[in-house]
Amino acid sequence: MISWFQAALLGVMSVCAASTIAALGTSIGNYTLNRPLIAGLFVGLILGDVQGCIQIAIPMQIIYIALVTPGGTVAADLRAVSYIGIPLAWAMAKTQGWDMGGAEAQAFAGAMGAAVGSVGTVQFYGTAMMNLIWQHIGWARLDKGDFSIIGKVEVFFPLISHLVISFIPVTLLVYYGADAIGEFKDALPMDSWYMKSLFTVGSLLPAVGMAILLKSVVTKPSDLIYFVGGFAMAKSMGLTLLAAAAVGGIFALVNYTIKMNKPKVVSAGGIDDDDEEDI
Amino acid sequence: MKKLSKKTLNSSFWRWYYGNLTAFSHEHMQTFGYMWSMLPIIQELYSSKEEQAEKLQTYYPFFNTEPQIGAIVVGITAGLEEARANGAEEIDDEMINGIRAGLMGPLAGIGDSLIVGTYIPVLLGLALGFAEGGSVLGPIFYIVVWNITITWFMRFIYNKGYELGGNAVEMIVGEQATAFRESVIILGQIIVGAMSGSWVSITTAWTLTAEGAKEPYFNLQKSLDGAFPGVLTMLFVLLCWWLMSKKGVSPIKVMLLMVVIAFAGVFIGFFNPGLSY
């Protein structure tokens, strides 16, 4: 199903995409290649089914839409979801002859994404711990006035951590897992209580993802009214996300205008409002 | 009058852009990334090896923040370092590390809520829409828009930090910036609601059927949707939020709780995905 070469390429991708400590850095590694939807494209290119892999990636991306890593604690490192979860869920759907966009494949992908997230967590802490070794070498050499060690600690030594903790496990898991996963069908019938439960888990977990996101933007309970309003816009009024963002923009602008026009003790006159950076 | 060359500033910026977290460990976090980024600046400003080593030690203390918005701190210290090399006496190790330590927390909060908590999910949300049916447009849209905007943004605030030096602090924690931030967060709250409404779908299979009748006389899902479409989904999101933010339950434990609820719900017939091979 998946060749050694393909499995090794997936292993390399997981190294590039490791969360927070990615070999390709934060913006390109963690916040681009690490995201399941983007990984869907690359896994698809490697496995030769771009459309199918992107479809498999969609439910996984929804579960992990919000992944904030405050102070270096991660709930789940998506490298495992993206580069173990997508290939294996794809292999399962392929073996079963499921339509990649159909209910079974989508539900299985969601459950799979939830299951392998914790593998990524172990990888994250493992890499961070192994990096301690390189940093200790770094401090020792710095004391001797060797500045060039900083670049090595930054760029080259972490690759050893990645080789041990990302590349090898991902390659092996994907290669052997893809063949083994198809045999699950007979052992796990859809109308069994455990498969029903597994798929129910897949539908409940996105709620946790949204709640994590909600936590990062809500400071007081009254903020929740905006959340409920946004929910009604999408579900009851049928607005798309972009349309809901446009309505939300109105509320944001009104709030900004009110805040800036409050009478102040110290006048802030003369400051140009336009120089605020928009992100 | 010493002036940092464009080449040096570029080198410092790209080192931070790439290497802010590559050597991450829980002990030093971004400390090595910061030193690596300051090294070209210090090497250009000071010629003797002893001076370079001494100035580099300013950046030995722990550093960690949201690294993308944190580019401004690296820019600020580049500006301060240049002023110090030109003899500004008020700038010493203590002042530089005061600014670094003082900005770490607020910037982590701003970056996590605005960039990671709002901007990225919104972009991903739009990309998910474009990706429907497995279209490559979705991932490509995200790759292009995210990388161009974040690189531009980091570059912009790095340069601003360098130009303004210590005065840049006002730009981050000032009144206008606070009002702006709060307003964007309102937009974020609405969008999280819209995303939950669009993508999360939790439905119950619970019905009541009269004895001998074929059709149930009571369908809980229909009744709930008649009152507020998708209210069950919304309540689940709110429940998870409440557990995490008010009860301090960790995300992993909340996920485990959802697993338990799923099993129990299937057992009593509340949930049934109704799938078959």
- Is B112's CB within 8 Å of A216's CB? yes
User: How do the domains of chain A map onto residue ranges?
Assistant: 4-217, 219-264
Among B257, B24, B101, smallest CA distance to A21 is for B24
Within 8 A by CB and 6+ apart from A194, the residues are A188
Distance (Å, whole) CA A115 – CA A111: 6
- Is A210's CB within 8 Å of B195's CB? yes
- B147 and B43, same structural domain? yes
- B242 and B105, same structural domain? no
| pLDDT tens digits along A64-119 | 876 655 444 555 678 899 999 999 999 999 988 899 999 889 888 988 887 787 78
Helix (H) or strand (E) run with residue A139 in it: helix A103-143
Shortest Cα–Cα distance, B42 to chain A (Å): 11
Task: Please give the pLDDT value at position A66.
Answer: 65
Closest CB to B184 among A51, A223, A252? A252
- B242 and B123, same structural domain? no
The answer to whether position B57 is within a domain reads yes
Distance (Å, whole) CA A113 – CA A118: 9
- B212 and B183, same structural domain? no
In total, chain A counts a number of residues equal to: 279
The answer to whether position B249 is within a domain reads yes
Q: How many CB pairs under 8 A join A and B?
A: 388
A38 interaction partners in chain B (CB closer than 8 Å):
139, 142-143
Residue type, B50: E
Shortest Cα–Cα distance, A77 to chain B (Å): 12
Q: Which of B140, B156, B191 is the C-terminal boundary of a domain?
A: B191
Task: Please give the pLDDT value at position B18.
Answer: 92
B190, A247 Cβ separation under 8 angstroms: yes
The answer to whether position B1 is within a domain reads no
Q: Cite the DSSP H helix spans in A152-192.
A: 157-162, 168-181, 184-187
pLDDT per residue of chain A (279 residues) written in tens, 0 to 9: 899 999 999 999 999 988 767 778 889 998 999 999 999 999 999 999 999 999 999 989 987 876 655 444 555 678 899 999 999 999 999 988 899 999 889 888 988 887 787 788 788 878 888 998 999 999 999 999 899 999 999 999 999 999 999 999 999 999 999 888 877 666 667 778 877 887 788 778 778 878 877 887 788 899 999 999 999 999 999 998 888 889 999 999 999 999 888 766 554 444 444 444 444
In total, chain B counts a number of residues equal to: 277
DSSP B270: S
Per-residue pLDDT band at B200 (split at 50, 70, 90):
confident
**DSSP structure string for B155-199:** HHHHHHHHHHGGGHHHHHHSHHHHHHHHHHHHHHHHHHHHHHHHH
B49 interaction partners in chain A (CB closer than 8 Å):
145
Q: Which of B130, B164, B191 is the C-terminal boundary of a domain?
A: B191
Distance (Å, whole) CA A135 – CA B21: 13
Residue B228's domain spans which residues?
200-267
- B149 and B39, same structural domain? yes
Place of tokens 């995201």: A35
Q: Give which of B148, B155, B198 to mutate to test A binding, by max A Cβ within 10 Å.
A: B198
- B96 and B128, same structural domain? yes
B247 interaction partners in chain A (CB closer than 8 Å):
none
Within 8 A by CB and 6+ apart from A114, the residues are A63, A201, A202, A205, B255
- B237 and B109, same structural domain? no
The answer to whether position B273 is within a domain reads no
- B122 and B227, same structural domain? no
The answer to whether position B131 is within a domain reads yes
- Is A230's CB within 8 Å of B191's CB? yes
The answer to whether position B107 is within a domain reads yes
HEC per residue, B122-139:
HHHHHHHHHCHHHCCHHH
pLDDT at B180 over 90: no
Within 8 A by CB and 6+ apart from A82, the residues are A13, A14, A17, A33, A34, A35, A36, A38, A39, A40, A43, A57, A60
- What's the token pair of residue A25? 């850095």
pLDDT at B84 over 70: yes
Task: Please give the pLDDT value at position A232.
Answer: 96
Q: Give which of B11, B22, B225 to mutate to test A binding, by max A Cβ within 10 Å.
A: B22
Report the DSSP beta bridge partners of residue B208: B218
Task: Please give the pLDDT value at position B276.
Answer: 62
- Domain count for chain B: 2
Q: In chain B, whose CA is at the least distance from the CA of A267? A: B175
Give the residue with greater pLDDT, B113 vs B66: B66
Query: In angstroms, how far apart are the furthest CA atoms of chain B?
Result: 95
Average pLDDT over chain B, rounded to whole? Answer: 89
| pLDDT tens digits along B233-271 | 999 999 999 999 899 888 778 888 988 999 999 999 899
The answer to whether position B254 is within a domain reads yes
- B215 and B178, same structural domain? no
B251 interaction partners in chain A (CB closer than 8 Å):
75, 208, 212
Q: Is B123 on the interface with A (CB under 8 A)?
A: no
| pLDDT tens digits along A189-214 | 777 887 788 778 877 877 887 887 78
Given 3-state DSSP classes, what are the helix, strand and coil percentages for chain B, each rounded to the nearest 5? 70, 0, 25
Task: Please give the pLDDT value at position A69.
Answer: 52
Q: In chain A, whose CA is at the least distance from the CA of B36? A: A150
Place of tokens 């939807």: A37
Shortest Cα–Cα distance, B184 to chain A (Å): 6
HEC per residue, A60-100:
HHHHCCCCCCHHHCCCCCHHHHHHHHHHHHHHHHHHHCCCC
| pLDDT tens digits along B15-40 | 999 999 888 887 888 999 999 999 99
